[in-house]
Structure 1
Amino acid sequence: MDLFSRSWAALRAAVAGLPDRDFARPSGCAGWLVRDLVCHLVIDAQDVLITLATPVDAEPTRDAVTYWEVVEAPTGDDPLDALTVRLAAAYEEPWLLRFHLDDVGSAAGRAAGLVDPGLRVGTRGQVLTAGDYLSAYVLEWTLHHLDLIAHLPDVAGPPPEGLSRSRAMLEEIAGAAFPAPLSDEDALLVGTGRRAPTAAERAGLGELAARLPLVLG
């Protein structure tokens, strides 16, 4: 729960500090500008609020790791992805996106701090405890923080503890550990296809290299 809050606060602070010109730069999400990514974060924050306000009386079917599924790489044809880009453009001024993320994002952060970790909530047709749901989002925030700074080297990255936890989760999803010489950040970038491995990294990955990237949905 605490790691969710720290990861989310760090990501929101990074967005809040961006100059207007950076919203038109590319992000680490293929085909998305920074403004598109920030708009996606607004939608994510709304999802957190909706899920935490959707208690269910059923046994959990997923946990923080099994919440994630390995899916096909996006083709750009997904209607929600297209909507995100159009919605981001409709904001016109970066300050509007900053304001909306701060407004909805702060509310999501407060809700996360108040919720009972044992509360069972429903999302995407599955049931999780609120604690597991928020733990799953540590991976979401960390990956998108890396996406945010992909072409913005002067912007602070995600908290080290968020990187470490996200790497551990991705290794559980992969069913294998990434080579120790890979930093947490590089393991996440290579593991999810955000950058291609070098020849040396591919050799170190061994059989795992053939199963990469792990596209999560």
Structure 2
Amino acid sequence: MDDFSRSWTALLAAVAGLDDADFARPSGCTGWLVRDLVCHLVIDAQDILITLATPAATEPTRNAVTYWEVADAPPTGEDPLDALTVRLAAAYGEPWLLKFHLDDVGSAAGRAAGLAAPDLRVSTRDEVYTVADYLSVYVLESTLHHLDLIAHLPDAADPPAEGLARARELLTAIAGTAFPASFSDKDALLIGTGRRTPTESEAAGLGGFGGRLPLVIG
């Protein structure tokens, strides 16, 4: 729960600190500008609110690791929701409107998460999770998207160290194989999800595991 709060709060703060010109820069999500990514974060915040307000009476069916499905190939941008996100982001027009909307709904999502009991069962995507597991999903999601947000902003701050470490743990569990100890948490996440190509020495350290990368999760 604390890792979610740190990661989510840091992500909202990173968006709040963007200059208007930053919204037109590319993000770490292939094909998306920063404005498209911020619009996606608005949808993420809405999903958090909806899920926390959707209690379930049955036992959990998935957890923070089994939530994720590993795809065979990266997204092409042809998914209807991805295309809608780009059009919706453009419709905002002014960056301050996107900032305002994310701060509004994102802050509400953070407050709702802080009020929810960790063992409460909630439902999303026709699956049931404990609140603790569901929010752990968003530690990985928000940490990766924080890295995406600052991919071309060299002076921007990294995600919180605790969130990076927890996100690495989750990605390791999804992969079923540990990343080399020589990898920083940030590098493990970037290389593991295909956001950065490994150097020759990093590829050598990955060994056979490197052939299974990137892990395209969603």
- Tell me if both proteins adopt one fold, taking TM over 0.5 as the criterion: yes
Q: Which residue of 1 aligns with 2:32?
A: 32
The total of aligned residue pairs comes to 217
Q: Which residue of 2 aligns with 1:10?
A: 10
Matches within 5 A, 1:81-120: 81-120=82-121
Q: Which residue of 2 aligns with 1:57?
A: 57
Cα distance in 1 for residues equivalent to 2:163 and 2:65:
14
Amino acid at match of 1:5: S
Matches within 5 A, 1:1-217: 1-72=1-72, 73-217=74-218
Task: Give, in angstroms, the shift of residue 210 of structure 1.
Answer: 0.7
Cα distance in 2 for residues equivalent to 1:155 and 1:12:
13
Structure 2 gaps, min length 5: none
SS class of match (1:135): helix
Cα distance in 2 for residues equivalent to 1:148 and 1:75:
19
Task: Give, in angstroms, the shift of residue 124 of structure 1.
Answer: 1.0
Task: Give, in angstroms, the shift of residue 10 of structure 1.
Answer: 0.3
What is the aligned-residue identity percentage? Answer: 76
TM-score, normalised with respect to structure 1 = 0.99
Cα distance in 1 for residues equivalent to 2:145 and 2:45:
13
Q: After superposition, what is the alpha-carbon deviation per residue over 1:166-217, rounded to whole angstroms, capped at 9, x for unaligned?
A: 0111011111110111111010000000011111111100111011000111
Cα distance in 2 for residues equivalent to 1:118 and 1:181:
35
Cα distance in 2 for residues equivalent to 1:75 and 1:149:
22
Cα distance in 2 for residues equivalent to 1:105 and 1:191:
27
Task: Give, in angstroms, the shift of residue 54 of structure 1.
Answer: 0.5
Cα distance in 2 for residues equivalent to 1:66 and 1:207:
23
Structure 1 gaps, min length 5: none
SS class of match (1:127): strand
SS class of match (2:61): coil
Task: Give, in angstroms, the shift of residue 125 of structure 1.
Answer: 1.5
Q: After superposition, what is the alpha-carbon deviation per residue over 1:122-176, rounded to whole angstroms, capped at 9, x for unaligned?
A: 1111110011100111000000000001000111110001001101110111111
